[in-house]
Structure 1
């Protein structure tokens, strides 16, 4: 998973014209019980989910559909934390099986999704969701993966 996570993160950063070195992202691979605990604690939703993210900086734009503020440049010596991502193996495996997708492709999509969240992208408002889904599709396409939003 480490290589998959690093590759997905680097493609996401590169696509957004951000440095692919110097940023730090912590990724927790966990089971449904652990992610349900995290989802309860941080979102007050007592259920398992596929991915959660905790940005280190508030980069979200005020205007629906706008590009988020850029993250701080990484310090050449200390780097720059973008935030944390948690992914539930059990939920990802079930979703991959249900959609007939390879597990690695689905996890790659969720890591791209999580990194975009760390960079201020979201999908609550319609314009933001459209922008985020377009970016995910473009990034995954560059990686040779299919559009996750097409049937």
Structure 2
């Protein structure tokens, strides 16, 4: 089985961040559905709202912090590196969304890591059919982790929301 190597980076002083074991569990749950995917290394960086906003502005032209940004690694031709890319997660946005959606912070973090990792593997949600397929994968992966459907909340995430998680093609 393709095991994930997760580089955990913390760029802020905060309590309640996922630990290394949680990140590896969540990423591995995604990779388990992609057994032929040779790339299994990624970085998960936890940031404050200023860093998230700067990256979101610079790579997506949206001048506000967002919950998760995905930066897929594009390997040069002929260079076999097992890198998926980077996830950048804004702690304050995740906390605010978890509260607004009546979720545990841990469950929302799991959703953000699963969602971002799917982006690193090439999944997207720009078109409605893509969104339905990606959300179905998220539901299945999270259910396997014992986490309720993230889209059945009092205030569900929406594809066009201001704090929408997106793939940032760098």
Q: Which runs of 5+ in 2 are unaligned?
A: 1-17, 154-170
The CA RMSD over aligned residues, in Å, is 1.7
C-alpha separation in 2, matches of 1:110 and 1:39: 16
| Cα deviation code 1:30-85 (max 9, x no counterpart) | 01111000001111111110000011139xxxxxxxxxxxxxxxx6xxx6000000
| 1:13 maps to 2:13 | no
Runs of 4+ in structure 1 off by over 4 angstroms are none
The verdict on how the C-alpha distance between 1:118 and 1:22 changes in structure 2, with shifts beyond 3 A counting, is closer
SS in structure 2 opposite 1:28? strand
Q: TM-score scaled to structure 1, two decimals?
A: 0.81
Aligned partner of 2:152 in structure 1 is 150
- Report the TM-score, using the length of structure 2 for normalisation: 0.72
Higher RCO (C-alpha under 8 Å, 6+ residues apart):
1
- TM superposition shift of 1:5: 1.3
Residue of structure 2 equivalent to 1:96: 98
Greater share of helix residues, 1 or 2? 1
Gaps of 5+ in 1: 59-74
Name the CA distance, whole Å, in 2 between partners of 1:85 and 1:150. 24
The total of aligned residue pairs comes to 131
Question: Aligned match of 1:32 in 39, 49, 53?
Answer: 49
Tell me, in whole angstroms, the C-alpha distance in 1 between the residues paired with 2:113 and 2:25.
10
Partner of 1:48: 65
- Whole-angstrom CA distance in 2 between matches of 1:142 and 1:56: 27
User: SS of the counterpart of 1:29?
Assistant: strand
Distance (whole Å) between structure 2 residues aligned to residue 16 and residue 143 of structure 1: 16
Q: CA deviation at 1:100?
A: 1.4
CA distance in 2, matches of 1:129, 1:41: 24
Question: How is 1:130-141 mapped onto 2 (pairs within 5 angstroms)?
Answer: 130-141=132-143
